[in-house]
Structure 1
């Protein structure tokens, strides 16, 4: 299972949000570029980056995002406000390892299927779930899709992964999240990456044994120092190593 250390940007600063509330950001006084480099030096193979300004239609972080992509020394999975073909191709051209698409998939599924075929292993489908339905527009608008129906609509699409967030229990009820994510991972043909579930290292161990879970985003717990990245990477790597049998 892969761990994605996760950074969220607002007005050029690292932040974390409570259930996506953009006006209630907790600011972390760290250098985003140096933080990304430190994660790479620790052994992370990927990182995840969400641009909250882009969610609101502003490009104020675009220069910083480009700098992180150039200097992180690991591939960057980029999310936030990527809602047009031009957005997708722009960020892939700028070097993003993967781009995450949610709202555009609900609006124009055929275009998203086409982009996934044009950019194999570079498009991730975001499935953000609140009260049983997929949310779009940065968690502000409820779609008509259940998460199962949304995943089924893209059953043969060659996504790199499906990124699942349970907004309703975000960082509060891990048991409920694990139930939702486990069910969707079983339902999906595409590997699932869990978001918002990891508060401590034990959560990584539990995720690692759920069928079809390919990874987990870990952000808030890293900044709060309730999870150590090196330990998280080691636990994720060791989870499926063969165990010697007793004679």
Structure 2
């Protein structure tokens, strides 16, 4: 299982939100590129970035910070937030992103997901963010009637590289991930599923890994707060 350190970008800073509330942002640093380098030096194999402002605006907002990160590290980087058309997808992949994450458009324009996945094999993921199983869009500001497993299954034959599943009520709350829902989703589809939201300890990571079906886990606040030591966690996961 791959551990993805998260860098959430708001107004050019590294932040973490509580349950997606932009008004409840904790700033952890004003140099995202330096933070990215530190994760790489600790042994991270991937980085997970979110343009929080972009998720609300519907277009890239923290592009300068993302580009600085891409210049600072050699490990692959995935990005979500504000990516809602083919031109933006192409732009980011040309700039060096390994993978783009499509969230809102997966609900509003699923044909775009299919088109992008066909055009850029292995470089398009779907972000499914849910409250009590229902998918939320536009930076989690709007809740839909679409159920997370149904949305995931609808892309089964689309060729997407991964599904990033976030339980919004767990995100940033340090209360542990929703292992049961994430495992159920991973068993419902053949697409690799990455868990996000609430990962707060090495035990949480082990529980996700030990399902045997979850391909990755994203952690943010726990790394910044020191609840998880990245190097130690990576070593433990490799030994497991």
1:20 is the counterpart of 2:20: yes
> Displacement, 1:117?
1.3
Distance 1:169 1:215 in 2: 17
Q: Which of structure 1's runs of 4+ aligned residues deviate more than 3 A?
A: 169-173
Q: Relative to 1, partners in 2 of residues 1:232 and 1:30: Cα closer, same or farther, differing over 3 Å?
A: farther
Task: Give the count of matched residue pairs.
Answer: 238
d(CA) in 1 for partners of 2:74, 2:145 = 40
Structure 1 residue 217: Cα displacement:
0.5
Structure 2 unaligned blocks of 5 or more: none
| Matched residue, 1:40 | 40
TM-score (norm 2): 0.94
Point out the structure with max Rg over C-alpha.
1
- Do the aligned partners of 1:185 and 1:211 also contact (CA within 8 Å) in 2? no
SS in 2 for 1:104: helix
RMSD over aligned Cα atoms: 1.5
- Determine if contact 1:37/1:73 at 8 Å carries over to the other structure: no
Change (3 A) 1:119 1:59: closer
- Does the Cα contact within 8 Å between 2:8 and 2:15 map onto a contact in 1? yes
TM (normalized to structure 1)?
0.92
SS at match of 1:24: strand
Aligned to 1:29: 29
- 2:74 and 2:137 mapped to 1: Cα distance? 31
SS at match of 1:56: helix
Q: Give CA-to-partner distance per residue, 1:48-75, whole Å, 9 cap, x none.
A: 1111121122644211211111222211
- Mind listing any 5+ residue stretches in structure 1 that lack a counterpart? 240-247
